[in-house]
Amino acid sequence: MKYMLMMTSTTDGFEGYRAWPQNDVQTHYAYLKGINEALTESGEFVDTHGLAWPTEAKVVRAGKSGAPITDGVFPESKEFLAGYWIVEVASPERAYEIAARISAGPGPDGEPLNMPIEVRQVMS
Amino acid sequence: MKHILMMSGTKADFEWYKNWSKEDLLAQIAFMQSFNKELKDAGVLVAAEGLDFPSQAKVVHAGADGRPVTDGVFPESKEFLAGFWIIDVDTPEQAYKIAARASTAPGPKDRGNMPIEVRAVMSGPPPEFL
């Protein structure tokens, strides 16, 4: 079963993250890298990607001619995808376990963030 | 440059989708299949995935002991990811053009073309973070 684990945040959340001391950011990245390595070793790793900042996000629609109409204005409450993992696991519980590990990643001063991670099955 | 093209909707949008006629659904599936094939043939398709319905979504955080605490309650306004494409193109404009094509996927005619969120995908953390 493939599951997608999603990290999301509002623009405010991204701004907060931008203000982290470099040391804390490095610790956080090292923690996530360790998770990626462990998932690769267990054979559960499928894919992970981090996305560009929400300030780079555009919403695109086709106009009448089919040409793209782009807009970069979003409601303040909008939750932007920051990054995701796709894992191949034996049960949803295992996906939740991995999500909890990601959730516990260190934040400022090394304290666990315990941030929310959305988990949903990916359809084949 | 890798870009992600995201389709998302609220629970109400997903409920609307569930009520499409079979004919509309089949037309949409046919569009998506030929769109994906076209992207693949053009050598720009990196990945395409569709997600389960939002009723199956859980939000997980680590409890004090590190164990998962799961919850399935979300605000009504929450936009759920329905599916995405990752494409590898030379410019953002090409990504927008492809997103505009995805935007024209057929459906019941009462809503017009659907919005597609487009953002660059990073290949790794910014160098200053390493």
Asked if the A2-121 domain carries CATH number 3.30.70.1060, the reply is yes
What is the rounded distance in angstroms from the CA atom of residue B4 to the CA atom of residue B48?
9
Task: Tell me, yes or no, whether B23 lies in a domain.
Answer: yes
pTM for this model (two decimals): 0.94
CA distance A106 to B18: 40
Of B57, B118, B125, the CB nearest to A29: B125
Helices (H) and strands (E) in chain A, counts: 3, 6
CA gyration radius for chain B?
17
The tens digit of pLDDT for each residue in B4-45 reads 999 999 999 999 999 999 999 999 999 999 999 999 999 999
Give B-chain residues touching A29 at CB under 8 angstroms: 125, 129-130
Selected for mutation to probe chain B from A58, A74, A94, A101 (highest B CB count within 10 Å) is A58
**For B80, how many CA atoms within 13 A lie in the half-sphere containing its CB?**
28
CB pairs A-B closer than 8 Å: 155
Cβ distance of B59 and A119 shorter than 8 Å: yes
Residue B130 is assigned to a structural domain of this protein: no
Domain that holds residue B81: 2-123
Residue-wise pLDDT tens digits, A25-52: 999 999 999 999 999 999 999 999 999 9
Domain ranges within chain A, ordered by starting residue: 2-121
In a domain, B93, yes or no: yes
Structurally, how many domains does chain B consist of? 1
Q: Does A63 touch chain B (CB under 8 A)?
A: yes
Cβ(A114)–Cβ(A103) under 8 Å? Answer: yes
Does residue B21 contact residue B130 with C-beta atoms inside 8 Å? no
- Strands A45-51 and B116-122, by their bridges, are antiparallel
